[in-house]
A = this chain, B = another copy of it.
Amino acid sequence: MTTRTRITRAPERQRTDRAELHGILDDALVAHVAIVRDGLPLVLPMGFGRGGDAIYLHGSTGSGIFRAMASGAPISVTVTHLDGLVYARSLFDSSMNYRSAVVFGVPTVVAAADKEEAMRVVSDHLMPGRWDEVRDMTKRELAATLVLRLSLAEASVKVRAHGASEAADDGDDRSIWAGVLPLRLAALAPETSALTPPGTAVSAAALAYAARLSR
């Protein structure tokens, strides 16, 4: 654990299990990536994938922020799952249940020879099973894609996963309900594109992903 990864606010919520870090990343589709540009912070949402003890980000070779990240700029990547709203009997003790992971480091550019494999990691993360349903990426597509690898060596995980707490001064009125409203990402029915001929079966990959979210 480093100075940056030691949690000082609510330290009892810190987790250090690597499997838990991997699980939080694997359950997420979007990461928020921060970079310093002209001395100022900038944070943008990006799809990502995890493979082993690293995450992979992909973007266009024409993207200014991707070129900056590829040139040795330090970044911070945060993934957050909001798991519930915690209604205590006072606003002060009300809270949220969440799982979050913050990763720090300098990403490296994935070499041309390893790019297709890294893109498979990203694809399998964002749209599991889809890689095998569609044609291979072309050389031109791979050439237009910048893939960055960020090690998970410096990462911290924070989790709140319990019911309402209260202080002694939260009042005598026990008729006020306290509890948790659990939240989760859910999939609705797939919407078929006009590109798809009528009667075509919905992608097994999309259906499997929807089922995974419903578990």
Measured CA separation A163–B185 after assembly (Å) = 20
Q: Is A56 an interface residue (CB 8 A)?
A: no
Chain B residues with CB under 8 A of A113: none
Which residues 150-172 of A sit at the B interface, judged by CB distance below 8 A? 163-164, 166, 169-171
Chain B nearest CB from A80 CB (Å) reads 4
Chain B residues with CB under 8 A of A29: 82, 85, 96
Which residues 62-90 of A sit at the B interface, judged by CB distance below 8 A? 62-64, 74-78, 80, 82, 84-85, 87-90
- A-B contact list, 11 entries, CB within 8 Å: A9-B64, A34-B76, A36-B39, A40-B104, A41-B41, A89-B135, A134-B176, A174-B196, A179-B190, A181-B187, A182-B191
Measured CA separation A134–B94 after assembly (Å) = 11
Chain A 26-67 against B: per-residue CB contact (8 Å), 1 yes, 0 no?
Answer: 000110111110011111110100000000000010111000
